[in-house]
A and B are shown apart, each in its own frame.
Chain A
Amino acid sequence: MIVSYLSTTMSSMEEPLGFDKLPSMRTIDRIQRFSATACRPSGEEMGMGNCWIEGMSCSTSNHYDEDHDEYTWEAFPWQRHTRDMSQGETFYRRTKSLGRNHMMFGNTHEKYNSKCNDKDIRNITNKFWKGIPRFVKIVEVGARDGLQNEKATVPTSVKVELIHRLVSCGLSVVEATSFVSPKWVPQLADAKDVMEGVRNLEGARLPVLTPNMKGFQAAVAAGAKEIAVFASASEAFSKSNINCSIEESLTRYRAVTQAAKELSIPVRGYVSCVVGCPVEGEIPPSKVAYVAKALHDMGCFEISLGDTIGVGTPGTVVPMLEAVMAVVPVEKLAVHFHDTYGQSLSNILISLQMGISIVDSSVAGLGGCPYAKGASGNVATEDVIYMLHGLGVQTNVDLTKLLSVGEFICKHLGHPSGSKTAVALSRVTADASKI
């Protein structure tokens, strides 16, 4: 099996491989070889002496535009091939590409710089990095949006444990539950009990969904300190989903946000179907902007734009974001992409380039698509974190811990993880002798 792989990926040889000649690698060797310090280029290569500045943010700005000497380093997570490898300290490396700084590849790069006009390349890469924020806040929706779409009812204790574990990963916002009628969402009928179970949990905000005043009051009674309301950019979807028009839903939410304001409870506004609707089809960006603005004007501190059926691509996401950003400040916007068509990470990437710095995701990609049986739904937090860290964006989330949370809940649900990163990292067996 291994032999056939070897010869398949590479142009194969006719001579047998000298497996006995391959070095075997003990786990400990692998850890040492792939640890952060092993991979860190030496000071001279860095072109800046031996100076490593760890994790200092030198300004309040969240954008790369300014010149920062912030170098943090993270060992590639994929190099931690064994799960028992201790995380140690992690640093986050911001990749410096040609356009910004030559230091990453040190002097070896110089040889190739002179060979071509790299000014054009530099312009392109500058544009690539320019808008990407330094820090992205992840809003973890697995415990609510994820679980509510799972068939098997999850016991309260497991939900509470899940939330605790998510918080321990460094996630600063973990949507806890929803105060909707148990008739419609039986999975979250234990909302009150879940809130009780997380009452003393510190370190993260735990917003809950409240569809109306009744739900809001129940949420407050249960100890909720933050709530969320849900509107749609599609009239047909609004009517079919919550049985009222967009306008009517906004009226309803104005009452909720007013009541919330009186109690100093922040309200997050969700907008669904921001790109496409299963009923209406394409949704005009102006409609999305209208609903987003309405939610913002009524007092929502954050608006999460949801591609409910996952049909978006940068081609439709960009005009939509443009429209919304014209009426709501970008720092108040979050993106909530579904991975039904496998498009969410590229949509997130383009959103970051537009300046978006809040991303919703669900651990292990919990929560299938209710509109296409068997298709995926929420984007997996692990995959998002992997990309963000690879981009040098800080999240404060510990990927290793997150992986074990995903494992925990998937084990309980009895299905494999929806996160490719989690699957890869849990099965990579790169041992030199196996290659």
Chain B
Amino acid sequence: MLKAKALSKYSGRVIAPLMSNFKESHGVDDFSNFGLNTLNGGNDEYTGETLFWSKQVGNIPQGNFIHHKYGNIQWNNMVHGNSRGAFYLSNGHYSSNSNDKSTRELPKKLLRNIPEFVKIVEVGPRDGLQNEKDIVPTAVKVKLIKLLVSSGLPVVEATSFVSPKWVPQLADAKDVMEAIRNVEGARFPVLTPNLKGFEAAVISGAKEVAIFASASESFSKSNINCSIEDSLIRYRDVALAARKLSIPVRGYISCVVGCPVEGMVSPSKLAYVAEQLCDMGCSEISLGDTIGVGTPGTVIPMLEAVLAVVPIDKLAVHFHDTYGQALSNILASLQMGISTVDSSVSGLGGCPYAKGASGNVATEDVVYMLNGLGVKTNVDLGKLMLAGEFICKHLGRLSGSKTATALSKTTIAYASKL
């Protein structure tokens, strides 16, 4: 009980010290610039409220603000222009104590190549939803897409023009495209497996398409019943048709690190496929770790192999979080200079190879890390979380994003939880 009392004395003062900390350390008088508003997205649910510390589990305080504060720490870095400079600013306090020169140089090397801006390609409405058992109504899909666009995501994969026989979930591709016809602020690529799908996509108003090859021969054969070479021939037709209509084409490569059939995938094969996609006119190549087995130990050599044949600004990484490795793989990729990352809101889309295991990496978690690194994304985490909440509510399940889970839960403090 004493503990609870001791704790409660902090409840009223929580907000004040937080604010003053920000003021002092960042010299900003007007908190509206802090991204607090951006984080809130104008939604009262996330406004700062008094933190009440309680020992009981049941007494749910409104402690959302505490966690959002960390969003603010990140936002602070972004607000500061040269965001990376902010990190080294605080170093000034103790830099004079440092007599170890190598320590001083190291972090710069580690973070130097990380791009200032990373484009997030949101694949939730397509890659995410297509793995859902229950058919999601068109209206829900459209609302999801609109919510995602409003969070600032520059690219949202809208749907796929595959045969409804194989992907019933996306049978309403045409209707989805119709409904988002006038949505501005983002690009809406769609998958097109062949010329027929491409034509249907164009009729529906698609302005950007994507095609899907594999780095693994076995996977290609077992999955689309044709060799890599045959699939590339098919896609050259699509790419050619697209070029005539000035429609950009994105090339996906699956199994870039490992294949459920072949095991390890040869980087030279991967580089070959990447080169072919690039040569046929793909403006971007997304490298997918389809079964999520990669670690920086395999990702880095994989990227090296592809970088030998494709310029880095055309590359994107598409990691699955099946083994929990996605964020560290993304970090390693950023250190290599990759500046486009695919992700899925709330981590929608499980792994088809391991029932119950996770699949796509959650956009919220990626944005959280990028914010923390001072990398610009133009994505508003608060609004993004709203989109995630919306779709998870509809699907009737918990978010696959740890960031979203943490930020949406109210805080409970235990005195002795050491």
Contact = CB atoms under 8 A, between A and B. Distances in A.
Given A12-B167, A128-B296, A341-B402, A242 B418 contact: yes
B191 A11 contact: yes
A134 to B, nearest CB: 13
Interface in A98-142: 98-99, 104-105, 108-109, 111-113, 115-116, 118, 121, 124-125, 127-128, 131
Interface in A390-434: 390-392, 419-421, 423-425, 427-430, 432
Interface string A382-396: 010011011110000
A319 interface: yes
B14 A279 contact: yes
Contacts of A280: 17-18, 21
Interface stretch (A14-22, A54-62, A154-162, A196-204): A14-22
Given A7-B162, A97-B304, A311-B73, A322 B103 contact: yes
A82 interface: no
A289 B268 CA distance: 46
Contacts of B322: 420, 424
Given A276-B70, A423-B354, A346 B327 contact: yes
B6 interface: yes
Contacts of B131: 5, 8
A321 to B, nearest CB: 8
Nearest to A78: B293
Given A105-B268, A326-B98, A391-B297, A180 B418 contact: yes
Contacts of B412: 370-373
Interface in A31-54: 33-34, 38-39
A240 B8 CA distance: 9
B182 interface: no
Interface size class of B (residues with CB under 8 A): 35 or more
A386 B322 CA distance: 12
Interface residues of A, number: 133
A383 B305 contact: no
A96 B298 CA distance: 9
B320 to A, nearest CB: 10
A184 B271 CA distance: 58
A12 B368 contact: no
A243 interface: yes
Nearest to B109: A127
A285 interface: yes
A390 B73 CA distance: 32
A357 interface: no
Contacts of A7: 162-163, 166-167, 224
B323 A97 contact: no
Given A12-B193, A312-B372, A349-B296, A95 B365 contact: no
B410 A8 contact: no
A428 B320 CA distance: 14
A124 B338 CA distance: 12
Contacts of A430: 260-261, 291, 353
A217 interface: no
A313 interface: yes
A108 B304 CA distance: 13
B82 interface: no
A183 B355 CA distance: 42
Contact of A124 (B66, B113, B418): B113
A391 B356 CA distance: 26
B354 A424 contact: yes
A183 B412 CA distance: 18
Nearest to B418: A230
28 contacts: A7-B167, A11-B191, A11-B235, A95-B298, A98-B304, A108-B268, A109-B268, A112-B308, A125-B336, A180-B418, A240-B3, A240-B413, A284-B90, A286-B90, A313-B74, A319-B90, A341-B70, A342-B327, A342-B402, A349-B296, A380-B324, A383-B324, A391-B297, A392-B297, A423-B356, A424-B292, A429-B354, A432-B261
Interface of B: 2-3, 6-7, 10, 14, 17-18, 21-22, 25, 51, 53, 57, 60, 63, 66-67, 69-70, 73-74, 77, 87-88, 90-91, 93-95, 97-100, 103-104, 106-107, 109-111, 113, 130-131, 133, 160, 162-163, 165-169, 191-194, 196-197, 211-212, 214, 218-220, 222-226, 231, 235, 254, 258, 260-261, 263-264, 266-268, 271, 290-298, 300-301, 304-305, 307-309, 321-325, 327-328, 330-332, 335-337, 351-358, 362, 365, 368-369, 371-374, 401-403, 405-407, 409-418
- The 8 A-B pairs of least Cβ separation, nearest first, read A313-B372, A390-B295, A7-B166, A11-B193, A184-B416, A342-B402, A420-B324, A112-B308
Given A13-B225, A127-B109, A387-B328, 13 more contacts: A8-B169, A13-B193, A76-B258, A96-B301, A240-B415, A312-B372, A314-B111, A314-B369, A323-B94, A349-B328, A371-B63, A432-B261, A435-B223
Interface of A: 1-15, 17-18, 21-22, 33-34, 38-39, 76, 78-79, 93-99, 104-105, 108-109, 111-113, 115-116, 118, 121, 124-125, 127-128, 131, 148-149, 180-181, 183-185, 209, 211, 230, 236, 239-243, 272, 276, 278-282, 284-286, 289, 309-316, 318-319, 321-323, 325-327, 339-343, 345-346, 348-350, 353-355, 369-376, 380, 383, 386-387, 389-392, 419-421, 423-425, 427-430, 432, 435
